Amino acid sequence: MRLATPLAFMIVLCFGMALGAVITLSAQPGSGDTSSTDKNNTPFETFELSTFEALLSADSSFVVHVHADWCAFCRAQSPTLAALGSDTRFEELQLLRVEFDQQRDALARLGVNHQSTLIAFHQGHEVDRLIGDTDPERIEALFLAALEDTESTP
């Protein structure tokens, strides 16, 4: 009987933590928001395949963020993306956001399998890609790569 009590306690504790996480996520303001900014107001436009193709054809520099509202890495990236998006050094960069759960055609076109992916393009060519990286310095290096055509350190 001694083993049943700790096991039952652990099961109840895990269930309670999971339920708390679900309640917290569903109670966050803007969780159903479909605007072009996330909860931290990162200045990304919603990805459209036609816009993407036009940017490639125009040899533009831009950054794509593959985002999911439920993704902890995406949420951790948001403050850095918001800061870089408002940084005047990057005002010429176009910023596009792909919704991981809804834009499967975009994921296929970009060759992306994971949310929290950042892709830098310079003059219409991919120059850097980060997957699940939340380090502000590496994310900033990716933004710089989009401007300077230099690949950042992974």
**Would you list the domain boundaries of the chain?**
1-28, 45-148
* pLDDT at residue 4, rounded to an integer: 52
Instruction: Provide mean pLDDT across the span 42-49.
Output: 86
Q: Do 11 and 19 contact (CB within 8 A), yes or no?
A: no
The dotted CATH code for 45-148 is 3.40.30.10
Tell me: pLDDT of 39 over 90. Answer: no
Q: What is the pLDDT of residues 53-62, one digit of tens each?
A: 999 999 889 9
The DSSP element (H or E) to which 95 belongs, if any, is strand 94-99
Taking the C-alpha atoms of residue 88 and residue 108, their distance in angstroms, rounded to an integer, is: 32
| Identity at 97, one-letter amino acid code | R
Q: What is the pTM of this model?
A: 0.70
